[in-house]
Amino acid sequence: MATAQDIGSAASEIRQGGLVAFPTETVYGLGANALDANAVAQIFEMKGRPRFDPLIVHIADVGQLDALVKDVPPLAKPLIEQFWPGPLSLVLEKQDCVPEIVTAGLSSVAIRFPAHEMAQALIRAAGAPLAAPSANRFGRVSPTRADHVSQQFGDQLTVLDGGPCRVGLESTVVSFVEIDPGQPVVLRPGGITMEQIEAVIGPLKSRTKEDSRPSSPGQLSSHYSPATPLVLAEEGFSPAGENRVGLLSYQRPLQSERFSVVEVLSEQGCPREAAVKLFAALHRLDALNLDQIVAWPVPEAGLGRAIMDRLRRAAAK
């Protein structure tokens, strides 16, 4: 676990324009001072992330919001009250101080107030909001433990160890600029469920096919991919011949002996537990040099929607 001293020196790296990986309750982030365009440019370089994919800006106090966004629409306020700090990012019209590189040239910016105390302590000590994507190479599986980050980036990068992430899936991204101004739309399912959001502000509009341009490129169909080919199983699936196949199962499977290795996400069928374990299980399976990973579908309600979103993208070519 990182100490207060580690957080202090990480904050000073940030103030000097450097990058630091830090824990949040969702996944580990790769952070830089969001107001320093040169520092943010290094995030894109290190991740191999295309410049058209905008970053989320992390704050540690709701009071930081006014300097970053033009306006907080009425329906955004109850969401902030209910779910911040927590796994919810809000896309709002940006102020001029937010560099274009952060938003990939968009006039909006995604803002999130993470619940992890170490993330909050780092943001406060750095004295600036932090732009941070998930701390993985572009398109790969997101990190939910400090060692997932060091495995991908080596020991060149400072990684604050805050233990395993307690949510395990990225934040839900809700945009207020996508359809009608002020009307919320979910761009990415995540740690806060649709059901939770609708319980606070009523039914959400969903985007139609026509307006589903990838303004949120986390929505690109291939993402979260292990190096090992991954397929989503259908009923009756059976691994072929000599292949070494790993199974990513939701609950305990009936015929596990046909697979070289089985990862069970939740014996009891609890979506919250499955979400927490999902990326770590994918990292473990990916390290085994299997011929294939087969993922068993999870019921699509609540957090199951976000889990299936990640599995479909992991399976996409």
If binding means CB under 5 A, how many residues of this protein chain bind Mg ion? 1
Torsion of the alpha carbons at 73, 86, 102 and 163, rounded to the nearest 10: 180
Helix (H, G, I), strand (E, B) or coil at 87: coil
The yes or no reply on residue 134 touching ligand TXA (CB under 6 A) is yes
* CA-angle at 214, arms to 212 and 220, nearest 5°: 115
Distance, CA of 175 to CA of 185 (rounded, Å): 5
Choose which of 33, 89, 225, 249 interacts with ligand TXA (CB under 6 A). 89
Choose which of 140, 188, 283, 305 interacts with ligand TXA (CB under 6 A). 188
User: Tokens standing for 182?
Assistant: 């002020």
Nearest to ligand TXA of 247, 278 (CB atom): 278
Q: Which residue shows structure tokens 């990480």?
A: 10
Choose which of 129, 143, 189, 218 interacts with ligand TXA (CB under 6 A). 218
Footprint of ligand TXA on residues 1-40 (CB under 6 A)?
24, 26-27, 29
Taking every pair of C-alpha atoms in the chain, what is the biggest distance, in angstroms?
A: 60
The residues, any chain, with a CB within 8 Å of residue 305's CB and separated by 6 or more, are 189, 193, 194
Other CB atoms within 10 A of residue 306 CB:
28
The yes or no reply on residue 309 touching ligand TXA (CB under 6 A) is no
At residue 222, φ and ψ (nearest 5 deg) are: -100, 125
Contacted entry of ligand TXA, Mg ion, none for residue 132, CB cut-off 5 to 8 Å set by kind: ligand TXA
User: Tokens standing for 92?
Assistant: 């709002």
Q: In the bound complex, what is the minimum distance in angstroms from residue 55's beta carbon to ligand TXA?
A: 5
Q: Which residue shows structure tokens 């101004």?
A: 181
Q: In the bound complex, what is the minimum distance in angstroms from residue 144's beta carbon to ligand TXA?
A: 11
The yes or no reply on residue 173 touching ligand TXA (CB under 6 A) is yes
Query: x/- string (CB under 5 A) for Mg ion, residues 113-152?
Result: ---------------------x------------------
> Where are the extended beta strands (E) located within 3-107?
20-22, 29-33, 56-58, 88-93
Contacted entry of Mg ion, ligand TXA, none for residue 173, CB cut-off 5 to 8 Å set by kind: ligand TXA
Q: In the bound complex, what is the minimum distance in angstroms from residue 309's beta carbon to Mg ion?
A: 12
The yes or no reply on residue 310 touching ligand TXA (CB under 6 A) is no
The yes or no reply on residue 53 touching ligand TXA (CB under 6 A) is yes
Q: State yes or no: cis peptide before 78, omega within 30 of 0.
A: no
Q: Which residue shows structure tokens 């019921």?
A: 299
The residue ranges that bind ligand TXA (CB under 6 A) are 24, 26-27, 29, 53-56, 87, 89, 91, 103, 106, 108-110, 112, 114, 132-134, 170-171, 173, 175, 187-188, 215-218
Residues that bind Mg ion (CB under 5 A): 134
